[in-house]
Chains A and B, each alone.
Chain A
Amino acid sequence: MINLFLKELRLNRNSFLFCLIGLSAVIILAMFFYPVISSNMDMIKPFLESPMMNNLINAMVPDIANLQSPLGFFATYSGVFSLMLGSIFAIGMSSKMLYMEEKEKTAEFLLAKPVKRTEIFFGKYLSVIVLLSAIFLGVCAASLIGIEMVGGQAPLSVLLSGSNRSALSERVSENETGVSRFFERNEDNFGQFVMSVLSAQMEGNEERIKSIGIDMERVSELLPMLEENPDNLFDYLRNNLDAVSGIVPGNFTEGELVEAIEEREAEFRRMKKVYLNGGKEFDELFLADPEYFLSQIKDSPELRAEFTEALSLGGKFEADVFIKYRPESLILYNFYFYLLTVLFASVGFFISAVSGKFSPFGISIGVVIVLYLLDTFTKALSGIRAIGMASPFRWVDNNVASLSYSPDYLNIFLFLVLSGIFTGAACLVYRKKDILV
């Protein structure tokens, strides 16, 4: 049996590699769209929520908001493709296993050898399972790489987008005690905060700054001084008025310049006072640049939990913004993918065992496509949604972005039992089948 098993592995090596590379490419490439979709969620959302699109989206994700987290995005885009491609590959490869021996008449060679039909069957079956397991591992690796490349590296501003950002500002303004107590604030990091706010304001406003005529080169010369000690900056400006006059176009008198500097300084001192004192007033500063503050607490699970709980933002916010993705959720989702491919492989063997002289490929691919459409169409139409439970695609839990995503043992059991039934039935049929060559 080992002999046969090894031969099947060798014989299917190329199609296996083809499938693995294809799936990995689909997964990784699709993830590159994540930052674009996620950071423009505000723009896309009304479109997605229109009645027509809503039904389509429902077919793919449990909740539109899911698109915002790297995992939810993965399950929506890459997941949809890889489930389909993986299933077609699994059923195509397995239904070919027995059929090709009959069609190419090599069965006459194989069956004249001292092997039991059961051994032939399981030698082939195991080789398919091993290849599918390798694809499972490959898909796990590809999806981790894909997510890590875009999700893992994504700045908080990407993660903190759309509904999450609006929820945050809403909850912060509702909160009575203010959020200052969660963050470390002192003379030293005030400079960094100011810098962060400035760069956040400048980002995306480059055109406007240019049209006013502000000399950015001059400004960037002054910035290091601002970060080091803002107080010194104003003293420096007062003593070097010509440095200021070049920044903004137009002729200003010395008095006007001093006045402007002092005005800014007063504003600045007030801001610093608020920053250091905290209290409700601080919330305004927080909302001016939440990424700056949230990045302070993102690495501490206790602080994160405390913060989201105090503002009652919920687990999804925490998952989206801080955790980005849970590798175990990703593996579990891919494990469902694996179970699905194993089930379709078993179905493929069954179709191939009962199909006689007719090619099983058409039926096999048809089965996958019909079950896939059954799942998606019934998801889109809420009235008949339950009918989709008959499709194994539905048993893949795609609510992967949820923090409470955990194995659904009933579905896993269903996958395993059905795979077993189809495999057993296929083997029984094959054992007593006349092989006409």
Chain B
Amino acid sequence: MRRAEATMVPPAEPRSYYGRPVIKAPVWKPEIPWYLFAGGLAGASNVLAWAADVSGNRRLGRNARLIALAGGTASPVLLITDLGVPARFYNMMRVFKVTSPMNLGTWILAATGTAAAAAVAHETLGLSGPLGRIARGLSALFGLPLATYTAALLSDTAVPVWHEGRRELPFVFAGSAAASAGAAAAIVTPERDAGPARRLAVLGVLAGGASMRLMEHRLGELGEPYRKGAAGRFAKLAQGLSIAGALVMAARGRRHPGAIAGGGLILGGAACQRWAIFKAGFQSAADPKYTVRPQRARLEASHGHI
């Protein structure tokens, strides 16, 4: 009787081959978390710029668009240098493939960057005609998916903490992108024109932070990397910087020095959040328990012990 009861209790740690990982760790380098940050900044800034122009706030529109252009220029550089064979980056554009978020993302990034560059050129050269309006509209249209597709990119993998967070990660990234775009624009724009940017920054911090908490809650045990090691430290730092930045922005943002301080904190928080998510993927891949435990539970739920 005692024996039978003992075998009913599953082992606390799932079995493994001497603790060796089942899946491979990503080969991606620090360029990738920085790209997640830069791409999100560029995506949301393009939308902010368009909305500012439509509302008649041309100064905010121009500043946000220049930020979008900077982020959109840094992005391909970061992505190409991360490749194993950078000279072959153009092979990404041999095909159009919806099953590959990386392929689709390459097209989205290229389209956004081209449209934003055309819009800035049109504005800077002082040209008239509908071309500028079309370019601005397109850069905003493609900017929306640019800010979020990177969540699909990470989720569409075998890395448990990324794949199982697939329903919340896009909202974390949308919030982070909004916070970055708002903060960056509020830093470089005189306070009398920067109201929407300040509100976007605070809104982004709240939405991104809440989505992050929801994701960690739903991940349960699988979310452990967000509380341990490098990912845990980045997550904590991200939360601290973002909340401090949002408070400074809300309380003191109507004066430019306050907006600069708050914006800087928020940008730092957003970068740390990307790093936390990136690092969590490595930690999640390194320990076989994260891979084996949910699969074992799935099997046992479907047809008893195999």
Question: Do A and B belong to a common assembly?
Answer: no
